Amino acid sequence: MNLPPTNQTAASPKYNLQQPKITATNFSPETASKTTAKMPREVADIKKFIEICRRKDASSARIKKNKKSNQVKFKVRCQTHLYTLILKDAEKAEKLKQSLPPNLTVIEVSKKEKKAKSS
């Protein structure tokens, strides 16, 4: 099937469909670092997690205990990533909690209780 050629001049198209070009003037590393998300990472090895906790860019740690599944989550906030270690053994979790560096601020997070409905 042959279609007649469309003659698109400046007057015929209603919309400008051209994409803006990214040049060196409108892109800078400073703006790119502000827009990138701080991604989470899961760590499986306890020794590697302790090394991450001892880094200079580690700012805080959170400990979340889940009573239903009997697991403890350790989360460490670093400059670029949030590292998570999940332990199912309570004894290992206590030992890891004691071995965290003293300069790291540790926050224990518990599940919030549900509010009672008032009628």
Please, are residues 41 and 82 in contact by the beta-carbon 8 Å criterion?
A: yes
Q: Compute the distance between CA of residue 34 and CA of residue 16 in angstroms, rounded to an integer.
A: 30
The CATH architecture that domain 37-109 belongs to is 2-Layer Sandwich (3.30)
pTM: 0.62
- Cα angle 41, 44, 48 (rounded to 5 degrees) comes to 85
88 token code pair: 């199912």
Please, are residues 72 and 64 in contact by the beta-carbon 8 Å criterion?
A: yes
Q: Compute the distance between CA of residue 76 and CA of residue 83 in angstroms, rounded to an integer.
A: 5
If we measure between CA atoms, which residue out of 40, 42, 49, 61 comes closest to residue 92? Answer: 49
Cross-strand bridge partners of residue 57: none
Domain boundaries, the chain: 37-109
Please, are residues 43 and 49 in contact by the beta-carbon 8 Å criterion?
A: yes
Per-position pLDDT tens, the chain of length 119? 666 666 655 555 566 666 655 555 555 555 555 545 567 999 999 999 999 999 999 999 999 999 899 999 999 999 999 999 999 999 999 999 999 999 999 999 987 765 666 65
